[in-house]
Amino acid sequence: MATLLNIHPENPQNRLIEQAAQTLRDGGLIAYPTDSCYALGCALGNKAGIERIARIRQLDSKHHYTLMCHDFAQLGQFVNVGNSDFRTIKSMTPGPYTFIMKATKEVPRRMMHPKKHSVGARIPQNATALALVEAMGEPILSSTLLLPGDEDPLNLAEDVIARLGNDVDVVIDSGVPGLVPTSVIDFTGSEPEVARVGAGDVSRFGEG
């Protein structure tokens, strides 16, 4: 059964953040809150962790996994941000947005889109998620906790424990996160394209 960590949503306890980070370093899989519902997360190079996420969510090879980053500088190490997109993306972070961009060599190939060599990246507006990424010193490979057959992602720790208590190693309870998945903007083409309308305002892209 997964370990439940009760972490303060505004002032995360360092000891508990470090416990969750150590689980990730040790090859574990966690469920943690963001500013847009719960996410499943594992360490970047954790092949078995990616396979566990894919199995839980029944994902195919074309799924865009997300790099949960701490700040814009870290995000820029793992994705190629063009000059024309720099200001747009920076003005939207932190926030409930996932940006699809070409991955750099720092990203394991198994988490890239097989043909586009792209990956999702985001900076959440959530103290617990940011503290966890900071403790790791690198992005957390993540995917929205939307289970097969469900219309909405999970957003309560008790529901995560009930549904996935035997499938993940740690569940973080840090208050109720956002209820809606991120908006997804694809920057791999000639113009930014809204791939999914979610929690964030996308009206600047002519949608929303």
Domain count within the chain: 1
Whether the Cβ atoms of residue 24 and residue 142 lie closer than 8 Å to each other: no
Task: Compute the average pLDDT of residues 186-193.
Answer: 93
The answer as to whether 203 is a domain residue is no
Distances (CA, A) of 161 to 125, 156, 157, 167: 24, 9, 6, 9
Tens digit of each residue's pLDDT (9 = 90 or more) over 157-189: 999 999 999 999 999 999 877 788 999 999 999
Whether the Cβ atoms of residue 20 and residue 140 lie closer than 8 Å to each other: no
pTM: predicted TM-score of the whole model, two decimal places: 0.94
The answer as to whether 48 is a domain residue is yes
| Residue range of the domain that includes 140 | 3-198
The answer as to whether 109 is a domain residue is yes
The answer as to whether 61 is a domain residue is yes
The answer as to whether 172 is a domain residue is yes
Q: Residue 115, class by beta-carbon neighbours within 10 Å (0-12 exposed, 13-18 middle, 19+ buried)?
A: exposed
Tens digit of each residue's pLDDT (9 = 90 or more) over 82-140: 888 999 999 999 999 999 999 999 998 888 888 889 999 999 999 999 999 999 999 99
Check which CATH number belongs to the domain holding 155 and give it: 3.90.870.10
The answer as to whether 26 is a domain residue is yes
Q: Residue 111, class by beta-carbon neighbours within 10 Å (0-12 exposed, 13-18 middle, 19+ buried)?
A: buried
The answer as to whether 208 is a domain residue is no
